[in-house]
Amino acid sequence: MIYFVSTPIGNLKDITLRALEVLRSADVIFCEDTRRTLKLLNAYDIKKPLKTCHKFNERESAEKIIAAAREGGNVAVVSDAGMPVISDPGNAVCRQLKAAGEQYTVVPGANAALSALILSAFPADKFLFVGFLPEKAGEKRRILRKFAQTEATLIFHVAPQDIASDVAAMAEVLGNRRACAVREITKLHEEAVEFELAEGYKGEARGEFVIITEGAAEKENELNSLSVEDHILHYMSQGMDKKEAIKQVAKDRGEPKSEIYKRALNL
């Protein structure tokens, strides 16, 4: 049998009894980084063969996983921390297992995104997990524009070296919203720091981050149901000049000002 096993995201005690049972019964464990997984296994005196399964060898790993399972072995798949597949390697493996008709199951457990959502105290009745943003600035903005009008709380994974650029891109596309930077989850220095996107995150850029932002305001979505021209005229009727109105409409819709300007030439 093949098991996708969730592992601790910080505190090594955050592992389920079932996860330990599966890891102890596994004939082989496929992991993202053998050094990280070995630390966990050593903490629980588990000694098993380890093989790598990372984003550069998922296809080959899937073939080995299928072969091991068909030989009658128990196979565990883990990532460095948290739930495999979720912003981690494993999705390509799942697709190949499905295509091959190979059964697999999941052993649930720790999850950084959901833990951060709770620590932020932001609305959790509806939320959207975006994950990591692309490295290139243009790609960051393109992805953010897709979710600019989503009313649900947005959840992002952010590496410490990207915190400044990612927050700046969020402020540019999403507009000024409340946000919360959550880091060191389940560890000694765990913290959830609330801030305004326009002001940027002023805290320490160390450790893996989850950034939570408010969803779009309902009023903004109502305005976005208007045509671009009527949207601009709405703000002009409130006393904004045309340039200011175009800037605000671009922010509401998460679109470049140049695109809004083209559509406002006849106003």
**Do 29 and 71 fall within a single domain?**
yes
**Both tokens assigned to 234:** 């709405």
CA–CA distance, 61 with 74 (Å, rounded to integer): 15
Last residue of a domain, one of 88, 110, 132: 110
Q: Which of 54-68, 182-196, 202-216, 231-245 is predicted least confidently? A: 231-245
Among 110, 129, 160, residue at a domain's last position? 110
CATH number for the domain that contains residue 44: 3.40.1010.10
Spacing of C-alpha 92 from chain mean position: 17
Statement to judge: residues 123 and 153 lie in one domain: yes
Rounded-to-integer distance, Cα 133 and Cα 146, Å: 12
pTM of the model: 0.79
Please return the burial class of 227, using the count of CB atoms within 10 Å of its CB with bins 0-12, 13-18 and 19+.
exposed
Domain limits for position 138:
113-216
Total domain count for the chain? 3
Residue 252: burial class (beta carbons within 10 Å; 0-12, 13-18, 19+): buried
**What distance in Å separates the CA atoms of residue 116 and residue 118, rounded to the nearest whole number?**
5
- Stretch 189-204: mean pLDDT: 94
**Statement to judge: residues 122 and 147 lie in one domain:** yes
pLDDT tens across 6-45, in order? Answer: 999 999 999 999 999 999 999 999 999 999 999 999 999 9
Same domain, 93 and 158: no
